[in-house]
Amino acid sequence: MSNGALRICLVEDDELMGEALSERFEMEGLKCDWHQRGKDALLALQRRRYSIVVSDIHLPDLSGEDLFVGLRQVRTEVPPFLFMTGYGTIGQAVRLLKLGAADYVAKPLDIDALVQRIRALGIPVEPAGQSEGTLGLSAAMRTVEQMLGRLAAADGTVLITGESGVGKELVARRLHILGENGQARPFVAVNCGAIPETLLEAELFGFEKGAFTGASKERRGYFEQADGGTLFLDEVGDMPPAMQVKLLRAIQERTITRIGAEASLEVDVRLVCATHEDLRQLIETGRFREDLYYRINVIHLRIPPLRDRRDDILWLARRFLAEQSAKRGGMPFSLNAAAERAMLAHLWPGNIRELKHCIERACILSDRPQLGPEALLGDTPQPALGVALAGEPLGVHLGDCEKHYIGRALALYGWRISDTADALGISRKNLWEKMKKHGIAEPAR
């Protein structure tokens, strides 16, 4: 293990002790960030990865125990916690071990022994550029990234599921890039729910000149355009039954037939499908073919919603801020501490898409580079993390958030269904279904 690969988050309010420990750690080749307040340490732990946390139990604002428990509420991955304790708090330290802390050391400290414990417990942090990956910092997205590395060499059909806006197309593109010559091969993305049913066959399989009125020249369909690369069919659950039969045949035979053509064409595509719906439930209601389900579900990747992978929120926000900075002449947009806390507390019913639009809107409207919570979330109420909503299950609360979000989007786009659906990244059919589900109707004028 390389010493330089360890980074310590030191939380100690005593100036003499904190300065002495941080200097000793640096002498040992251990990188150290020293914080005197628990709230400052909590924010730092949400911003970056640490090998280990070395914390006093008594702190001026919140206790070491509050820091440990609070971090576990907002992060799926928590670095090992090593507590420093006096004689009077050994019982509390033992209780923390039962809650999941790594170890404790008693004061007065044996610094040599402390350094040895840090080396034994610390988890190496990979060099910059290697640890962040391309999909996220959370354990869930790191697992997905690892699986994509294994899938890249295979040619099996992949089904990606998850709520609208979680980044299913990004995962599909990452799988494509990881394949052999991924940068050079075509990647074609199709939203099945956004294409009218009468045009879907022509768009997927193409047509010959004169095949129907208006077909003034031949057209290659999406399957042909993706030949040798990847075809990504998003919202495959919205595909009408008649097209499901033709898609099944194309997958089985590896051939397609243009509308109006007699001969079939061989196509070599890596098929990746995605949906926000429960295909099993659609099968039970007769809206999706079971044989097609088993054809596209060779390998299943589920992408969790953003509220379940909070480690990714600030990581994604910084990426979107950097994009906006580049678009607007290099203005260095950033978030203040209150904005970061508000973003971590928000449930993000619209997932990554909502987060991206939130950042973009704030950067357009703000007259200063540092963004506060009011610029990002406006008057959206922010629930406190870890506080139960009495009598309201999570599903009910998320449904209310979705209803509020869709209502605001409809009002913003003048209740134009097509424009609103495009802005939300869903099909018109899906938007109508959600409006019906939540009882959303245009107000009388």
CATH of the domain at 421: 1.10.10.60
Predicted pLDDT at 5: 67
Indicate whether 252 pLDDT > 90. Answer: yes
Q: Report, as an integer, the average pLDDT of 348-364.
A: 92
Please report the pLDDT score of residue 385 as a whole number: 43
Predicted pLDDT at 132: 46
Model confidence at 384, in pLDDT bands (50, 70, 90)? Answer: very low
Confidence of residue 398 (pLDDT cuts 50, 70, 90): confident
In a domain, 130, yes or no: no
Give the confidence band of 383 by pLDDT, cuts at 50, 70, 90: very low
- Average pLDDT score over residue span 92-111: 84
Mean pLDDT computed over 292-319? 92
CB 346 within 8 A of CB 382: yes
Q: What is the mean pLDDT of residues 376-399?
A: 57
Dist. CA 111–CA 128, nearest whole Å: 29
268 touches 228 (CB < 8 A): yes
- Give yes or no for residue 138 having a pLDDT over 70: yes
Residue 400 lies in a domain: yes
Residue 207: pLDDT above 80? yes
318 occurs within a structural domain = yes
Beta-sheet strands, E only, within 95-143: 103-106
CATH of the domain at 39: 3.40.50.2300
Q: Which residue has the tokens 């992408």?
A: 303
Answer whether 86's CB lies under 8 Å from 106's CB.
yes
Q: How far apart are CA 434 and CA 21, in angstroms?
A: 56
Does residue 128 belong to any structural domain of this protein? Answer: no
Q: Which of these ranges, 54-58, 200-204, 360-364, 366-370, has the smallest mean pLDDT?
A: 366-370
Q: How far apart are CA 201 and CA 242, in angstroms?
A: 10
- Residue 68 above 60 pLDDT? yes
Same domain, 155 and 282: yes
Sign of the CA dihedral running 179, 182, 187, 189 = positive
Is the residue at 95 inside a domain? yes
Domain count of the fold of the chain: 4
pLDDT at position 409 is 76
Q: CA dist 69 to 10, 48, 89, 99, 217, Å?
A: 17, 18, 17, 9, 65
Average of per-residue pLDDT across 277-303: 94
How confident is the model at residue 280, as a pLDDT?
Answer: 93
145 and 214 share a domain?
yes
Q: Specify the pLDDT at position 148.
A: 92
Co-location of 351 and 397 in the same domain: no
The residue ranking higher by pLDDT, 408 or 30, is 30
| The pLDDT of residue 125 | 66
How does the average pLDDT of the chain come out, rounded? 85
Task: Give yes or no: residues 75 and 16 share one domain.
Answer: yes
Beta strands in 257-357 (DSSP E): 265-266, 270-275, 299-302, 334-335
Determine the pLDDT at residue 154. 81
Q: Which amino acid is at 249?
A: R
256 pLDDT above the threshold of 70: yes
pLDDT surpassing 70 at residue 400: yes
pLDDT > 90? residue 36: yes
Distance CA 172, CA 269 (A): 13
Predicted TM-score of the model (pTM): 0.62
Same domain assignment for residues 378 and 418: no
202 vs 195: CA distance, rounded Å: 10
Contact 225/172 with Cβ under 8 angstroms?
no
In angstroms, rounded to a whole number, what is the distance separating the alpha carbons of residues 104 and 93?
6
Alpha helices, DSSP H only, in 48-84?
Answer: 64-74
Q: What percentage of the chain carries pLDDT values higher than 70?
A: 89
Q: Which domain holds residue 225?
A: 139-302
Once rounded to an integer, what is the mean pLDDT over residues 311-332?
Answer: 84
- pLDDT given for residue 131 in this prediction: 43
| 149 & 55 share domain | no
Q: How many CB atoms lie within 10 A of CB 394?
A: 11
Q: What is the mean pLDDT of residues 68-89?
A: 78
Parallel/antiparallel/unpaired status of strands 255-256 and 265-266:
antiparallel
168 pLDDT more than 90: yes
Q: Quick one: CA dihedral 226, 232, 238, 241, positive or negative?
A: positive
- Asked if residue 394 has pLDDT above 80, the reply is no
52-56: strand order across its sheet: 31-35, 7-11, 52-56, 81-85, 103-106
Average pLDDT over residues 17-46: 90
Residues 288, 153 within the same domain: yes
**Tens digits of per-residue pLDDT, 103-118?**
888 888 888 889 988 9
Same domain, 182 and 282: yes
Is the model's pLDDT at 75 over the cut of 80?
no
The answer to whether residue 389 scores a pLDDT higher than 80 is no
Statement to judge: residues 378 and 403 lie in one domain: no
Domain co-membership, 27 together with 115 = yes
Q: What share of the chain is helix, strand, coil (3-state, %, to 5)?
A: 50, 15, 40
Residue after which a domain boundary falls, among 340, 362, 383 = 383
- Which of 383, 401, 424 is at the close of a domain? 383
User: CB under 8 Å to 157, separation ≥6 — which residues?
Assistant: 251, 270, 271, 272, 273, 295, 296, 297, 298, 299
pLDDT at res. 338: 83
Range scoring the smallest mean pLDDT among 53-57, 325-329, 338-342? 325-329
Mean pLDDT to the nearest integer, 153-164: 90
